[in-house]
Chains A and B, each alone.
Chain A
């Protein structure tokens, strides 16, 4: 086989993956009896196009398998019937195609034989004569079937060029360029505000200057909206592979689950979308594996044997609400009891180690790694909440900003400094008139609830004159908890450009970043959760600045000496103690001798036992079932990621985009301080 041009191969990979996503969706629809009349025709078209393009690039494995799929589909299309149980072998075929598309040569002889057998099976409408066509050339195949002509002759032209030219009218632009554009636009908006601020002090301006400034402002707003729009993409982009992932996970654990996605067209910031996939899969896996009861148990409880899991996305102003809901068993009554005692269900379930402990005793534990999802939502400037009733299911709700670069914040002053909190977390503003003292802490009555009152200066540890009488305050809500934060004055609502504090200050916790205001001052944007956390009584988690637990032990499994030592040095520099293993089997041996290992970092491809095998072995062992596993690999396709996640990995990082900070952040999050 010749080595095809790299750009072409990449283009093919993108297109084929896209088409395989659509095929999966159609096959799942057929399997659940919800497919439209066009489903088979569309499936055929996709298989045909993949076959054609693969043929052009000399990717024979893919061409042959796609051809076999196409033949099966042709039989069904011609017969006008599609038995639902044929969806499964075809789904396996699309799975194999995916693997071939991302990894190259993988033989699929068994699948080919199976598909050939299906093709020969008589269907209701009688087997058409086309079934056995050993046609190699795609043009022959298409022309030989009159039906192909119904689709405007399209299957005969398996080139990406015509598709790009007619259907989409879209342009591929490197994401970095758009990020840069957004940065500049954000800057321009801020400069405009600064200008307005300076002009506000000027005595008098000519009328035409005022008009020109007004026009400029409107244009700038439009420009900003358009730029933000460019960086948003529909949830669909990442939700596409989810139905299949849910189905596969459900099958693997013997659950019967119906999965529905609503609001897939809801637009989100690309940066959020890219990072949302991992937490979403995590939540869905939790819902299937831990939340959903087996069919028999559901029936006993008077529920329908088939469970339902829903992913909903709903735009809410400048925010997007993402909900993963299931009708499974929900939390156990003693968890509800814990929650009542300690404040909120969210808080109880996201306490590191909580769910794992429950798991061992009652198997009813929920929310493996929910603390990771919560941390994620907060790091994006969003909020996280869990609701659940025993026996009735569970709902996890993420509220995320629509656009990351621009964040709506409420600004307030204290001790001469300006602070901001995301508007998403501000319930209301109040005046603190009367406080009561409960267990040595101040509290006030807000809408019938006694909420703790804290001084932002005390929380952050800065010295400031005591707040005045009847000070203004913000009611902040995060993770199902509310708190009243006292300040000197409220500045108001503003849409600000969030500037990162940079890697040098990454260890300083509690901030989302900073914003430069119109008057040139810097507003520190505080993480709502950090404000709430800080009022925890002694005995709760230590101060947020504690860093990684002293010498948490990490096992690195990696066959390359260089990579292994690189990872060791990064982790050790961050204060972890590191053990290494040369392959999966070696890693299992080390795990067997050291019970204190808190996390495993593994490569995918290793001799003896590979990373997936290692992950599965760890998950299969009751003693390590909840041990966090991070896969670090050069294989970055969605499929690889899915396989990794399905095997039970908690995070998946790609070497090519390997980023020390990201790795440490992930490790720190999973170990849970």
Chain B
């Protein structure tokens, strides 16, 4: 995920289930006095995590959400994506030392979430 979209990395914390919400919405939690939707990035990308432990708090414009992830591997500078993907949620992908790294398109993910129905 592009660092410019990441506000902070936090523990997953206490997530309150929001009945009636789509499957990728794990629920809501409070963060600094605000209500933050907690989204399971795995469900959205088609590979649900076992038990997400960390929360990537991401922002694009005035939209904000926490993405539950298995782990935060590394923060580093990557070249522009070289590989095209057919996922509308990725900006693209690239090879980094043998690993295929997908680069999340945060605004696109938010768009999808906004349109999703409960």
Q: Does B116 contact A (CB under 8 A)?
A: yes
Known contacts A503-B114, A514-B28, A547-B117; is-contact A508 B21 (Cβ 8 Å): yes
Question: Contact at B63–A522, with CB atoms within 8 Å?
Answer: no
Residues on B with beta carbons closer than 8 Å to the beta carbon of A510:
20
Chain A residue nearest to B61 in the complex (CB): A503
Which of B11-19, B72-80, B87-95 is found at the contact surface with chain A? B11-19
Question: Contact at A514–B35, with CB atoms within 8 Å?
Answer: yes
- Contact pick for B30, options A460, A506, A520, A524, CB 8 Å: A520
Question: Contact at A505–B19, with CB atoms within 8 Å?
Answer: no
Looking at B20, B29, B30, B34, the one whose CB has the most chain A CB atoms below 10 A away is: B20
Question: Contact at B115–A417, with CB atoms within 8 Å?
Answer: no
Q: Does A187 contact B (CB under 8 A)?
A: yes
Q: Does A462 contact B (CB under 8 A)?
A: yes
Residues from 34 to 75 in B contacting A, C-beta threshold 8 Å: 34-37, 39, 62-65
Chain A nearest Cβ from B28, distance in angstroms: 6
Residues on B with beta carbons closer than 8 Å to the beta carbon of A574:
115
- Contact pick for A417, options B16, B110, B113, B116, CB 8 Å: B16
Chain B residue nearest to A530 in the complex (CB): B20
- Fill in one digit per residue for B83-111: 1 if any A CB lies within 8 Å of its CB, else 0: 00000000000000000000000000010
Question: Contact at B21–A521, with CB atoms within 8 Å?
Answer: no
Chain B residue nearest to A664 in the complex (CB): B114
Question: Contact at B28–A505, with CB atoms within 8 Å?
Answer: yes
Known contacts A460-B19, A522-B16, A524-B18; is-contact A507 B34 (Cβ 8 Å): no
Consensus secondary structure, chain A interface: mixed
Known contacts A504-B113, A508-B118; is-contact A516 B35 (Cβ 8 Å): yes
- Chain A interface category by residue count: 20 to 34
Question: Contact at B18–A508, with CB atoms within 8 Å?
Answer: yes
Residues from 509 to 533 in A contacting B, C-beta threshold 8 Å: 509-511, 513-514, 516, 520-522, 524
Q: Please report the C-alpha to C-alpha distance between residue A460 and residue B18 in the assembled complex, in whole angstroms.
A: 9
Chain B nearest Cβ from A503, distance in angstroms: 6
Which of A36-44, A143-151, A494-502 is found at the contact surface with chain B? A494-502
Chain B residue nearest to A523 in the complex (CB): B16
Known contacts A507-B114, A574-B115; is-contact A522 B29 (Cβ 8 Å): yes
Residues on B with beta carbons closer than 8 Å to the beta carbon of A417:
16-17
Chain B nearest Cβ from A495, distance in angstroms: 16
Q: Does A190 contact B (CB under 8 A)?
A: yes
Residues from 256 to 271 in A contacting B, C-beta threshold 8 Å: none
Chain B residue nearest to A515 in the complex (CB): B35
Known contacts A507-B115, A520-B30, A547-B117; is-contact A502 B16 (Cβ 8 Å): no
Residues on A with beta carbons closer than 8 Å to the beta carbon of B18:
501, 505, 508, 511, 524
Residues on B with beta carbons closer than 8 Å to the beta carbon of A545:
20, 117-118
Chain B nearest Cβ from A546, distance in angstroms: 8
Residues on A with beta carbons closer than 8 Å to the beta carbon of B22:
508
Q: Please report the C-alpha to C-alpha distance between residue A41 and residue B116 in the assembled complex, in whole angstroms.
A: 61
Question: Contact at A501–B37, with CB atoms within 8 Å?
Answer: yes
Chain A nearest Cβ from B29, distance in angstroms: 7
- Contact pick for B114, options A462, A504, A521, CB 8 Å: A504
Chain B residue nearest to A456 in the complex (CB): B19
Residues from 619 to 651 in A contacting B, C-beta threshold 8 Å: none
Question: Contact at A507–B16, with CB atoms within 8 Å?
Answer: no
Question: Contact at B114–A506, with CB atoms within 8 Å?
Answer: yes
Chain B residue nearest to A502 in the complex (CB): B37
Chain A nearest Cβ from B23, distance in angstroms: 12
Q: Does A205 contact B (CB under 8 A)?
A: no
Question: Contact at B110–A522, with CB atoms within 8 Å?
Answer: no
Chain B nearest Cβ from A188, distance in angstroms: 10
Q: Please report the C-alpha to C-alpha distance between residue A509 and residue B22 in the assembled complex, in whole angstroms.
A: 11
Known contacts A503-B63, A504-B113; is-contact A462 B17 (Cβ 8 Å): yes
Residues on A with beta carbons closer than 8 Å to the beta carbon of B64:
502
- Contact pick for B28, options A462, A501, A573, CB 8 Å: A501
Question: Contact at B115–A187, with CB atoms within 8 Å?
Answer: no
Q: Please report the C-alpha to C-alpha distance between residue A573 and residue B115 in the assembled complex, in whole angstroms.
A: 8
Chain A residue nearest to B109 in the complex (CB): A504
Residues on A with beta carbons closer than 8 Å to the beta carbon of B30:
516, 520, 522
Residues on A with beta carbons closer than 8 Å to the beta carbon of B29:
522
Q: Please report the C-alpha to C-alpha distance between residue A187 and residue B32 in the assembled complex, in whole angstroms.
A: 10
Give 27 CB contacts A-B under 8 Å: A417-B16, A417-B17, A460-B19, A460-B20, A461-B20, A499-B34, A502-B36, A503-B63, A504-B37, A504-B110, A505-B18, A505-B25, A507-B114, A507-B115, A514-B28, A514-B35, A516-B30, A516-B35, A521-B14, A521-B16, A522-B16, A522-B29, A522-B35, A524-B16, A544-B20, A547-B117, A573-B115
7 smallest CB-CB distances across A and B, nearest first, come from A460-B19, A545-B118, A522-B16, A499-B35, A508-B21, A508-B118, A516-B30
6 new A-B contacts at CB < 8 Å, known A460-B19, A505-B25: A417-B16, A460-B20, A504-B65, A508-B20, A514-B16, A522-B29
Residues of A within 8 A of B (CB): 187, 190-191, 417, 460-462, 499-511, 513-514, 516, 520-522, 524, 544-545, 547, 573-574
Residues of B within 8 A of A (CB): 14, 16-22, 25, 28-30, 33-37, 39, 62-65, 110, 113-118
